[in-house]
Amino acid sequence: MRLLRPEDARLYFEQDAEEPDAKEIAGGVAAVFSARCPGKQTPNEDAAALIPVDEESAVLAVADGLGGAPGGEQASRVALEALWTALSCAPRDDASLRSAIIDGIEAANEAVAALGLRAATTLAAVALQRGTARPYHVGDSMVLVTGQRGRIKLQTISHSPTGFAVEAGVLREREAMHHEDRHLVSNVIGARDMRIEVGAAVELAAFDTLLLASDGLLDNLATREIVDRVRKGSLAGAARRLAEDARSRMARAREGRPSKPDDVTFVVYRRC
């Protein structure tokens, strides 16, 4: 049984947005922002997707094509198209949706490798089902859920040397943001040894905010700064604050603050 029509999904490729784009989905609202690095002439290598399954369920995703390798924008596009294709034919039950996401990510890995360009991308996806959020990720794009008071209910671990070092307590987050190896990723779509990390489902309470983001956001704003900007106020306002602050830091380095120009893409979501 097909759950989706082509026009139901919203896919964001090679965007250079000025403002976040909002859409009602899965009993709530999602806002997407995707823009290329300030001053960059080549395409935005990030991509995002809002894929509705039914009125209460959807899959949200962000992909970050690896810079420094050819075909980054192709890799992120191919990966999200493969995910959409797998979801478009999935039955409605929970187990089948979970299998479709995993199948889609595996198909994405094969499709990116088949490009023959040594291209690669990260991928973070979340399945929204009846008020819960379950993360799936490959690489260093992040999934985060925070409550209105700022309590973090879910945060994925970046598949990177600095990400694992922070989790182990060897590095502080601020140190990792300035580390010389911060650009290294140890798990990507397009690699023979790609692995998918699947998290536990988290119940979304009223006013909780879900975020999926590429490292263009994470390398310029610390986790607590991100939480402070999204936990309250309107969703549209939260999305604008994130976009403006991340791009402001990219454009102007200040002592003690990170400044890493990069493509930036994120999705924020709240239930109505």
What residue spans of the chain are helical by DSSP H? 72-88, 94-114, 161-168, 173-177, 215-218, 223-230, 235-251
Tell me the whole-structure pTM to 2 decimals.
Answer: 0.94
Structure tokens at 107: 């198909």
Query: What are the sequence ranges of the domains in the chain?
Result: 10-271
**Residue-wise pLDDT tens digits, 151-204:** 999 999 999 989 999 899 999 888 888 888 888 999 999 999 999 999 999 999
With residues binned 3-state (H G I as helix, E B as strand, rest as coil), the percentages for the chain, rounded to 5, are: 30, 30, 40
CATH says 10-271 is which class?
A: alpha beta
**Residue-wise pLDDT tens digits, 97-146:** 999 999 999 999 999 999 988 899 999 999 999 899 999 999 999 999 99
